Amino acid sequence: MHVLLFDAGSDQEGIHSLELNGHTVVLLFEDRDDADRYAGLLEAQDFPVPTVELLDRRNMEDFCRDEGYEARFVPANYRPESEEDLLLLAPPQRNMDVSTWKEQAQAEQDQAAASAAALDPELEALRRRLEGLL
């Protein structure tokens, strides 16, 4: 399956998703050309440019289930039958603001690290001593 990734292979890697009826949906394209076309449509809407990556379908479905996302398979030669189905071939005209998604991800990582440090009193005491040396 082909998926759209942002900053593929980096610590800030993200996957393209849609919000449909209160669910986060990740598109799994069977055909590389469909994924490339969708990526081009995102770019035309001033969205960050995604990379099309080939990933194992089972792994992607497991990832989506574990993260609480819905995996939607988009077969080759797909023909939409409803307005919602159309979103599987063309992104919505209005996108969520993603201008700060990297900063938000970094802030979440920093917060998680701070929480982990705060949970270990010995580590916290060591941190205070090191700060005192500065």
pLDDT of 28: 95
| Cα Dmax for the chain | 67
- Alpha helix stretches (DSSP H) within the chain: 32-44, 57-67, 83-86, 101-119, 121-133
Question: CA quadruple 45, 49, 54, 55: dihedral positive or negative?
Answer: negative
CB under 8 Å to 89, separation ≥6 — which residues? 34, 38, 74, 78, 80
In the chain the first and final C-alpha atoms are separated, in Å, by 52
Q: What is the residue extent of each domain of the chain?
A: 2-96, 100-134
- Percent of the chain topping pLDDT 90: 29
Three-class SS of residue 20? Answer: strand
Cα separation of 122 and 80, whole Å?
58
pLDDT of 134: 58
Q: What is the pLDDT of residues 35-77, one digit of tens each?
A: 998 899 888 888 888 999 999 999 999 999 999 999 999 999 8
Q: pTM for the full model?
A: 0.65
